[in-house]
């Protein structure tokens, strides 16, 4: 996977990368690093995935960090999840420049995390 650095890290700003999303396979999108096991639950040095911003936001809107650490801690498990599959089918049809707004799922709001 090719990733292009768009800006250096200066004054506390994060680096911006363009590349391919490992979840939805869209190309030439802004990439973020997703810790497959959340850092707060011990995932600092564990595997990560390069995800586009919409996919990354959607994952965190649906699942708590505990769920991500125990059930959804591989890219394959995320791809196989029915809720994520539905989102991926939709986002693949969107232009790479499309920004989306995400609301926490009803189940996630009820869990209060």
Q: Do the domain assignments include residue 71? A: yes
- Contact indicator for 3, 50 with CB cutoff of 8 Å: yes
Predicted TM-score (pTM) of the model is: 0.77
Q: Do the domain assignments include residue 51? A: yes
Domain count, the chain: 1
Condensed to tens digits (0 to 9), the pLDDT of residues 29-84 reads 999 999 998 888 887 888 899 999 999 999 999 999 999 999 999 999 999 999 99
Backbone angles phi, psi at 69, to 5 degrees: -70, -35
Q: Do the domain assignments include residue 3? A: no
Q: CA–CA separation, 15 vs 7, rounded Å?
A: 6
Q: Do the domain assignments include residue 2? A: no
Q: Do the domain assignments include residue 10? A: no
Q: Do the domain assignments include residue 88? A: yes
Confidence of residue 107 (pLDDT cuts 50, 70, 90): low
Going through the chain in order, the beta strands assigned E by DSSP cover: 4-5, 17-19, 29-35, 48-52
Q: How crowded is residue 7: how many other Cβ atoms within 10 Å of its Cβ?
A: 10
């Amino acid at each position: 996977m090719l990733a292009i650095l768009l800006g250096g890290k200066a004054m506390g700003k994060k680096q911006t990368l363009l590349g391919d999303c490992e979840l939805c396979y869209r190309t030439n999108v802004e990439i973020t690093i997703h810790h497959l096991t959340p850092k707060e639950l011990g995932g600092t040095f564990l595997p990560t995935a390069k995800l586009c911003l919409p996919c990354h936001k959607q994952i965190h809107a649906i699942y708590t960090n505990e769920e991500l650490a125990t059930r959804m801690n591989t890219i394959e498990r995320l791809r196989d999840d029915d809720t994520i599959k539905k989102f991926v089918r939709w986002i693949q049809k969107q232009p790479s420049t499309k920004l989306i707004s995400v609301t926490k799922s009803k189940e996630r709001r009820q869990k209060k995390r």
